Structure 1
Amino acid sequence: MDEAGASLAEISRFFVRSLKTRFRDHRAELSIVRSHIAHRAGIACDVGANKGSFTLWLSRWCRGGRVVAFEPQIDLAARLARTCASIGLHNVQVEAKAVSAAPGLLPLFIPDGHQPGASLNRSAVADLAFTKATVPVVALDDFFPASERVSFLKVDVEGAELDVFRGATRILDRDRPLLLFECEGRHLGDASVSTVLSFLQSRGYDGRFVSAGRLLPVSMFAEAIHQRRDGEWFWKKEGYCNNFLFAPR
């Protein structure tokens, strides 16, 4: 392997993370994502790709299309690009950029010792020690030309979900992609999860959320119940729900 390639350790960790994501952490959602991508041409977006635990599966299932993975942390983006190239995921394009409502430059808040928690939303790191980096930001409607079609959006941006969707209104209204995203009130400051869900419903989407490995109608979701903030590490407790799957009506 040449010096630009991923190390064996990087590749091993990539596969282990991907397997846990597919067969343990997101089994219910990814079964539906797989079926959707297999039957619909277009681009699959991994927004907030981090270390790429979704990227492998999107690449494999998106046959004939391509995957665009957005990760604003330069070191993580470089590692993901190396790994994808080394294992032959040639349909993956890694962009070292964040995604928001408008293009430009914005501060990214990175919790010390916890890169997956990085966010454009200051509220997401309110009680944590963090470092700040200025990163390039794109809006999906500007990044993708009108001639291209987006069939799937996975969004994991720690409280900046609404801005991602606001910057993709043309894509949502015209391309009607399937949406898989995390959303937690603890990251949203004065806003709430219902704000994000209502925005998507207003654009003709219906949603479900993941609870104990099952997909339930979003009409049953109650932030006070499903995202209770009782005790330390409450977001790791059984019954805490933060994954949503939205499809066009």
Structure 2
Amino acid sequence: MPADTDPFVVGATGRRLYVDPDDERAHQLVRNDGTLTPGSNRLWDAVLALQPWDVVVDIGANYGEMVLGASIPADARIICFEPSPRVLPYLRRSITESGLPIDLREVAVGAAVTEASFVMDTVWSGRSGLADTHRTDSEHALEAVVVPVRTLDSELALSEGDAVCVKVDVEGAEFDVLEGARALTASSRPWAIMMEVLHMDPFEKARLAADYRMHVMDRRTGDLVVVPPASADVLTELLAGEWLHSQDAVLTSREAA
């Protein structure tokens, strides 16, 4: 459990992020002022600025650095999903001290309402995920627990016209999250989903570009650039450009301008 002596970092927004002193990722966060992936944070800020979102969702919140370190519309409803019992005590404390009205849901998000094995990396918390889809190159010991799983569609009680912005970082379960969000992504409401694609193979990225309007960020300008539907080989060549931040992609509907 968190203690008064536990480490924390104060991010750009002035909010404290409490972290597990036994987690190497936590120590990296402290050393880097609460930001491990500046490009991802920059992209997240750009997505949040696309329009005045009514609902902002963080799936795979970890210590909360993305949601607590960003400028979110003051009247937006904020929902965080995090199932890991190793980081939840610290995330709860950070949210409580932030004073933000964040709805923390201690469940995983996937393709169906169920229970599933969740494997926790005992050294680097950011490499934890649902066992069936877990991807990691880590040689660290994994610790498994059973966690509740919900779909995004089952968890979002949306009003007509609500605009929804979602961040997804789930270490391999991205397509399951999308499967469980079909009602959201098929709707005419404004929506955007930012997800990590770094570990996806070229065919998976090609699938995203075919099924959605997919964007990546121009590092030089911060603008979002549309990734056209293309073969896996063509997409691999395109995303290899040094001028692109290709760790994450932003998905919107094909009809979105």
TM-score (norm 2): 0.73
Task: Extract unaligned runs of 5+ from structure 1.
Answer: 229-236
Question: Does 2:119 align with 1:109?
Answer: yes
What SS does structure 2 have at the residue aligned with 1:75? Answer: coil
Q: Take 2:41 and 2:110, find their aligned partners in 1: how far apart are those partners? A: 28
Q: Which residue of 1 aligns with 2:168?
A: 155
Pairs aligned (count): 228
Q: Which residue of 1 aligns with 2:182?
A: 169
What SS does structure 2 have at the residue aligned with 1:241? Answer: strand
Q: Shift in Å at residue 154 of structure 1?
A: 0.5
What SS does structure 2 have at the residue aligned with 1:14? Answer: strand
Q: Shift in Å at residue 88 of structure 1?
A: 1.4
Higher helix share: 1
Kindly indicate whether the alpha-carbon contact (under 8 Å) linking 2:136 and 2:171 is maintained by their aligned counterparts in 1.
no
Identity %: 20
Question: Does 2:83 align with 1:72?
Answer: yes
Deviations 1:191-228 (A, max 9, x none): 622233433x2xxxx22113545543312872367479
Kindly indicate whether the alpha-carbon contact (under 8 Å) linking 1:185 and 1:193 is maintained by their aligned counterparts in 2.
no
Q: 1:23 to 1:242 in 2, by over 3 A?
A: closer
Q: Which residue of 2 aligns with 1:192?
A: 204
Q: Take 1:8 and 1:115, find their aligned partners in 2: how far apart are those partners? A: 16
Task: Extract unaligned runs of 5+ from structure 2.
Answer: 11-15, 19-28
What SS does structure 2 have at the residue aligned with 1:33? Answer: helix
Q: Which residue of 1 aligns with 2:247?
A: 242
Q: Take 1:163 and 1:105, find their aligned partners in 2: how far apart are those partners? A: 14
Q: 1:238 to 1:115 in 2, by over 3 A?
A: farther
Q: 1:32 to 1:73 in 2, by over 3 A?
A: same
Question: Does 2:73 align with 1:62?
Answer: yes
What SS does structure 2 have at the residue aligned with 1:209? Answer: strand
Which stretch shifts more, 238-247 or 46-55?
238-247
Q: 1:177 to 1:4 in 2, by over 3 A?
A: same
Q: Take 1:173 and 1:167, find their aligned partners in 2: how far apart are those partners? A: 12
